[in-house]
Structure 1
Amino acid sequence: MFWQQSAGDGVGVDSDRLAGLSRTAVRLYGQIAGGGQPDEWARGPELEQLVAAGVVACEGGRWVALEPRPAVARNTALEMLELSERLRMLAERPTLADELTELFQRSAVGGARSVFLPDAAAANASIQDVVGNAQQEILSAQPGGPRSRELMLTSLKRDSEALRRGVLMRTLYRDSVRDHEVTQEWAATMTAQGAEYRTVHSPFQRIIIVDREHAFISDYVKSSDPHSAWHVTDRAVVAVMARVYEDIWRRAIPWSGEPRNTSVRPVVVAGLKTSPLQREILRDLCAGRAQRSTAARLGMSPRTLSRHLDDLKAVFRVGTLNELIFKFAKSPDSEVDDARVDAVSRPGENTGQAVA
């Protein structure tokens, strides 16, 4: 009997291996290379390892050793390919997780769903599709200021058809649109068809809610494009957004497109240095909001916002944004209730501002 296993050989023990072969398998190879043959009872996992590695073969009923370098090189190449494939799969796991998460959110099990709309074209296409199929209600909050006549004309047919279907349509605007002729015409035309409009002085977020099932909101998560958005269909989240909308609507002032009434004599608050728009900019700075986000929210370019900031630095006689924030926070302007502001004085005037 040639092959014997000592008590310390540890057959099949993974902790004592050399490049995939156990130490006992390596010793068995040496014995076969020397002309020895393992008995039947000894043909265990070590011999199977050598056969799998391609370094022994059975020829004419005898086990013979084969040249190891070609077999090892061949096995190494195969294992390197397998390793490369595993590394590729590991690298793809984050992407796979994102795709599976989106599928989960779309399912009845996940419940919630938010679809990212990366630019104005994608957002408008999705909004047109959902709004065009509205059955009950469209709630819209547009803080970006007046829209062009061309843009409003593109919405005329869609909104008129929705109103004829019995869809309730309510829109919130900033108070400044009351001085915009095109928006006045739009509100008067659509009010005659059953739409409702209100305006507010204080800031609010852009949002469109359709049938309390869909909501379109601005993106604050993943894009630098100020026109990117999210389409949200989670019922709980949309319900909360609708409740916030209703709270703003109750505080807003009804408007049917008529020009601002300038015959009312205002009460003057003396000593203010800033306009409502400038106070919004400064309050955003105090809250740590990025200037890009403020510009997008107020419907102006970053360059226009920068000019406003330069004017404000001159008004408060400071040289830096930090000084401007400090001076504004300590000034009476920071405590003004802009919901009551009706007319404004130019920055730097000491005659005060009119408050309704």
Structure 2
Amino acid sequence: MGWAMAGHGAEEHPHGADRLCEAGDRVYSRAVRRGRVPRGDAGPVPCLLELALLHPDPDDMDWLVPTSPQEVMTRLLHGLYDEVSAGQRRMGSAVAAFEWYAGLGGPASGAGAGEGAAIRVLDGASRIQAALDQATEACTTEVLTVQPGGIRREHELSEGLHRALELRGRGVRMRDLYNHVARHGQGLLNYLELMGEAVEARTLDEVIDRLILFDRTVAFIPANSDRTMALELRHPALIAYLSTVFERLWRLAIPLTAALPDTRIEGISHREQSIAALLAEGHQDAVIAERLGISVRTCRAHIARLSETLGAASRTQLGVRIAQVGLDCPVDGAPLSVPLPDRLPGPVPGSVPGQGSPTGR
């Protein structure tokens, strides 16, 4: 880089002394060879005067003499040295500032990303899998998971099977929460039979988004809707909150080995009562299907059967009949429209951001 230029020359010749334009190079080279050039030769290249590569001949102001190449080089190197020194000072100031900020967070803030980062974004399946494998390797006591959605597909169960088997081999206990509808998947039943006493599973009408919690130390939750990003959480307050959420859902859940309770009205299934409660809240079919882990088509089939059983000829009439017979309260607990703090004292299991899956099992 060269020195700053101003005025007319800066507009027409935006360069420094370390790299002349073609016209400037010709005039300066001629001046060095001949010792001087007429002032008129520098008219088309005023940058030579602005950069002090040419200066007036004190003996004849109509002529210009060149600054020696050695002096130009000395000036150029001095300018570059100043720029490098300034850059080093800025870099030192930035490092000092960030070291000070890091100190505000205590000893944990200086730990490596894999050990002490409170929140880490994992972008891409390979990074997610690597982080889960690392957490699996470090786990010594328990793993808590929430697995939303419907019937578990074989490939989803097999994706995390190697981790589950590794954990079982070390005596780690696992507890899994699923939607009720997952009970109908043979793949899940086979998985639980393979894992034996190492895994205990329970189900609910609705669960929160996917959660995997290792040793109440590190948790993984979805970070976007297409299952390509996850959050790795290590902040103690977040971990304590998610642990509380899990434990309170676990107490409400029904063991997979136990049958679902009978509904209060003959001819209406447990799932239909859950759908009725969500219909009473005004949810659309797609939302109900997603929350219960079933397809929209299956959801609509249940709604049609529910309407037939209750003798409702329209959605409006169905809503009235649901309220009349008391189906606006799901089997698993209090009405879903009741705020969670009224139902679960203390920290409440609100909706965890994201709709994806850090892993499948």
* SS of equivalent residue, structure 1 residue 338: coil
Determine which of 124, 133, 140 is the counterpart of 2:145. Answer: 140
Q: What is aligned with 1:269?
A: 265
Determine which of 272, 296, 317 is the counterpart of 1:305. Answer: 296
Relative distance call for 1:111 and 1:277 in structure 2 (3 A) is same
Measured after TM superposition, the shift of residue 309 of structure 1 is 5.5
Relative distance call for 1:57 and 1:158 in structure 2 (3 A) is same
For residues 299 and 165 of structure 1, what CA distance do their matches in structure 2 show? Answer: 32
For residues 161 and 231 of structure 1, what CA distance do their matches in structure 2 show? Answer: 21
For residues 117 and 294 of structure 1, what CA distance do their matches in structure 2 show? Answer: 30
Determine which of 172, 176, 190 is the counterpart of 1:167. Answer: 172
Q: What is aligned with 1:39?
A: none
1:40-51 map, 5 Å:
none
For residues 251 and 245 of structure 1, what CA distance do their matches in structure 2 show? Answer: 10
2:120 is the alignment partner of 1:114:
yes
Relative distance call for 1:130 and 1:276 in structure 2 (3 A) is farther
For residues 204 and 229 of structure 2, what CA distance do their matches in structure 1 show? Answer: 24
| Matched-pair contact (CA < 8 Å) for 1:312–1:324 | no
Q: What is aligned with 1:232?
A: 233
2:275 is the alignment partner of 1:278:
yes
Deviations 1:13-34 (A, max 9, x none): xxxx98899xxxxxxxxxxxxx
Determine which of 175, 183, 188 is the counterpart of 1:183. Answer: 188
Alignment-mate amino acid for residue 234 of structure 1: H
Alignment-mate amino acid for residue 337 of structure 1: P
Relative distance call for 1:237 and 1:54 in structure 2 (3 A) is same
For residues 151 and 250 of structure 1, what CA distance do their matches in structure 2 show? Answer: 26
* SS of equivalent residue, structure 1 residue 225: coil
**Identical-residue share of aligned pairs (%):** 23
Q: What is aligned with 1:244?
A: 245
Deviations 1:75-99 (A, max 9, x none): xxxxxxxxxxxxxxxxxxxxxxxxx
Q: What is aligned with 1:211?
A: 215
Relative distance call for 1:201 and 1:309 in structure 2 (3 A) is closer
| Matched-pair contact (CA < 8 Å) for 1:178–1:260 | no
For residues 251 and 151 of structure 1, what CA distance do their matches in structure 2 show? Answer: 26
Alignment-mate amino acid for residue 182 of structure 2: V
Deviations 1:89-124 (A, max 9, x none): xxxxxxxxxxx9xx97994389532314456x6544
Relative distance call for 1:271 and 1:313 in structure 2 (3 A) is closer
Q: What is aligned with 1:196?
A: 200
* SS of equivalent residue, structure 2 residue 246: helix
1:24-103 map, 5 Å:
52=50, 57-60=55-58
Measured after TM superposition, the shift of residue 225 of structure 1 is 1.2
Unaligned runs of 5+ in 1: 1-16, 22-49, 67-99, 342-356
- Relative contact order higher in (CA < 8 Å, ≥ 6 apart): 2
For residues 163 and 133 of structure 1, what CA distance do their matches in structure 2 show? Answer: 13
* SS of equivalent residue, structure 2 residue 140: coil
Alignment-mate amino acid for residue 226 of structure 2: D
For residues 277 and 226 of structure 1, what CA distance do their matches in structure 2 show? Answer: 27
| Matched-pair contact (CA < 8 Å) for 1:172–1:249 | yes
The TM-score normalised by the length of structure 1 is 0.50
Relative distance call for 1:53 and 1:158 in structure 2 (3 A) is closer
The TM-score normalised by the length of structure 2 is 0.50
| Matched-pair contact (CA < 8 Å) for 2:177–2:207 | no
- Give the total of aligned pairs: 244
* SS of equivalent residue, structure 1 residue 139: strand
For residues 187 and 226 of structure 1, what CA distance do their matches in structure 2 show? Answer: 24
Q: What is aligned with 2:346?
A: none
Aligned residues: CA RMSD: 5.0
* SS of equivalent residue, structure 2 residue 149: coil
Relative distance call for 1:318 and 1:124 in structure 2 (3 A) is farther
